[in-house]
Structure 1
Amino acid sequence: MLFCIATDWLAQAFDPTAPNTDRWWLAVALVNGLATTPFGQPVHQGYHLVESIALAERPGTWHTQPEDGPQNMGWNPNAVVPRTTSVVAHDAGVAAAVWLLNCLENDDLDRRLLLMEWVKLLLERPALIEPLCLVDILIRRSADDHQEVASKVILCLARLLEFDEEQGLQVAQRLHERKELLIRRGMADVLTRIFRRTGWKAVPFLDEMLEDEDESVLAAASATVGDLKFLDEDVWADRLVSLLDHDVAIVRRNIVLSLRDYVEAYPDDERQIIPSLWNDGDEVVQIRLRELLMRMDEIHPDRFAKNLPLLKPERLEALWMTMDARRKGRSQQWKEWLTNEGTLPEPIVATQEIHQSTGEAPDELPDVDDALNMLDDTLGFID
């Protein structure tokens, strides 16, 4: 009820024909009084009211319009239609919104948590970040005495890095240096987002997280190692090798998550990551590896043959049983090959050549009927 009253007062304050300044100040004060808890109406309805205050526009109005394009039925590529695709902050509205944010920031825990919920939503409006001093708020709250408030800052890092990488990294470093377990786990969870926005600058965070004592942090950080392949495949592969001897089992298990990409990039496995993981004796790792090895047997027996002699014989029984359950007698073919009594088994699944486009028109185009038949065979198109 009170939120409805605040909304109505703001609508009267922003009435273009008869603006009511008394309702304006009353509405701002009422919103401040209603902002008490970091959940429910104060989060979402409160945010929309704060946004309307900062923009000095009536609540419920569409502040922006999407870019027009061929996805719209009425699109005309030759028409020039002015559209408001970005919000414009209002000076007096920003002053009132900043006052509101300051009131929350300098109050109790619940109000500071609500502030962080609002800031997270306001970061979706790049035009409001600088006028509302949201970066300064995040810098200050990253050093908040209560770890729960600081942990909320972590959820804002991705958008902050997109807006200002330098200040975003400054906030990330402050949070990374804190010792609270909640914050350490939160930073490990968003490490992938930091990687995708900062590249090599995120590697120091990864290195230090892999030295952490908490298994949850180690699990999240080791799962993020795969992001290194987008920076440098050799560095990524070498990092996988360095994790093979890690003391914590979850770190070694997470290496398996990168093995499919690793095998594609390094089909000969010169670093012998697959044999090392298999011979480690971790049953969970062996279960995950078993499917990869069986798939390798089906498609690339030659690659499987390079790894097979390096696997400990006493650990192969489960692999043979699973292989026979899928295709009876397949394990016997490999056993005979191992003892030089048989030839290398043939692939079961034919390898399809992947067409690599050159970006140029071919000299000769395929027949239309052949192309349609290819679509039917490969994609299952129905006429």
Structure 2
Amino acid sequence: MSGGVDSSVVAAMLKEEGYDVIGVTLQLYDHGAALAKKGACCAGQDIHDARRVAEAMNFPHYVLDYENTFREAVIEEFADAYLAGATPVPCIRCNERVKFKDLLETARDLDADCMATGHYIQRKLGAHGPELHSAADPMRDQSYFLFSTTPEQLAFLRFPLGHLPSKAETRKLAARFGLIVADKPDSQDICFVPTELCERHRKLRPGAADPGEIVDLAGKVLGHHKGVIHYTIGQRRGLGIGGLGDHPLYVVKLDPDTRRVIVGPKEALATRLLRVAEINWLGDEPFESHPEREVSVRIRSTRAPRPAILRPLSATTAEVELIEPEEGVSPGQACVFYETEGSRIFGGGWIVTA
């Protein structure tokens, strides 16, 4: 129970259906006093909101201190990856390493039969066991952030909101249950990053904002910057160097070792081939059973899946060929695999080269 409307509705639904519900909220940092910002999940007020929902629905509620686990498993890696020029997705690591690992083990310790969450994704029973499917509402679908869910975890997890047609239906349920969070705004962005992302990196990694050069693809110096942490692949605005004639310049690469930001024309951002590692495979057949597969892939949570060819290189690595080039692909992003026709998720991995 994050303290938001989604997980609160799930708890209320299951309580009403007669299940023996235990609410669990994770304290991921010092009650959010120093780090949380408005609109972030798991903040100090959220813990109180979760507790009040549990009291109103009359089921036990526990707050577990996962601060050290969260810092070591998510925040530190996020800082290192970002400063190495990658574009990390910490919400995936939080689900993978904290919520669906340590918390799931806690649920088993509590002798629970299953763990239910407020994620918008569907678990369906197929011929070979539980399958992971996209949410009924494509605007709320969170499959991109849950591709690393393993088959063993999927057998224990439940997602009661995945079939709902819209978030409006969730809020209607919250109002029907009389929940205090019925009109609470959705969480957004990265929960542990305050107003200024770069300030967070300065605190985690002193010297992260060292100045350097902005260069073109040939290495010509076009200007100077105040730290690579201020830039992301595909960025166009805020470079302070103008364009190349009538053509704007984009960040096409970050080199933290030389403290260089490399810029070029938009076509330099186009990517066809990706190398993907740490693959979690959710298909029925072994990952390496076919030399290549036609799939759809998503490399950003905000973009629809695109046609691609998936070629296994080992049990956990693969080459992905995009049928149409994608712009702004960066190491550190997730590459999630979907069936070409339908809603099933076949897993995914992490982009290491593009």
Question: Which range, TM-score by smaller chain?
Answer: under 0.3
Q: TM-score, normalization: structure 2?
A: 0.23
Q: TM-score, normalization: structure 1?
A: 0.22
Greater radius of gyration (CA): 1
